Amino acid sequence: MIYAFKLGRIFFIMELIQIENPIEVFYIEASSFPEGVLEAHQKMHALIPFNAERKSFGISRPEQGKIVYKVAAQELVEGELSQYNLPSFSIAAGTYYGLKIADFRKDISSIQQAFDHILSHAPIHPQGYCIEWYQGMNDVMCMVKSK
C-alpha cells in the first residue's frame, strides 16, 4: 500500500516498510521534548561521528504524560559502542507505516506533520513508537509500527 498526499508545501508518499529483524541500538535520552532534542542529537554526534553505514534514529512516544525522546545509533561492529555505557533499546521487527521526508532540514516541522498524519490516518500498534530513521544527512523516514 502506497499513497501520496500534500501537507502545506510538502508532498508525502506513505508506504509500508518491513523490518525483518529487531534493530539493537544505543541511545541518549533528551532532557525534554521538544526543547532538549537538538542537545541530545549534538551529544550523540559528539560521541559517534556520522557514518553513512550506521543506522541512526530518533525514537519517541508519550510516557506518563510527557513525550520521551531518544537519539539512537546502531553499532557497526559488535561492542564498539559499549565504551560509552549508553542504555540500549530494541526497535521491534514488523510492518511500519512510513513517510519519507527529503531534505527535512529545510522545514523541521515537517517531521511532526508526518507523524501527525500517520497517527491520525493509519491503524498503528497501541504500544508502538514514533521512529525517525535518518537516511544520510538530509533525509528521514518517519515510521510508526502497524497494528
CA distance 129 to 144: 6
Structural domain spans, the chain: 2-145
pLDDT tens per residue, range 16-64: 999 999 999 999 999 999 999 999 999 999 999 788 899 999 999 999 9
Asked whether 78 and 26 are in contact (CB, 8 A), the reply is no
pLDDT tens per residue, range 62-90: 999 999 999 999 999 888 888 899 999 99
* CATH (residue range 2-145): 3.20.80.10
Residue whose C-alpha is closest to residue 80's, from 24, 42, 37? 24
List residues bridging with 69 in a β-sheet. 60
Whether 1 has a pLDDT exceeding 60, the answer reads: no
Burial class of residue 106 in the structure, from the number of CB atoms within 10 Å of its CB (0-12 exposed, 13-18 middle, 19+ buried): exposed
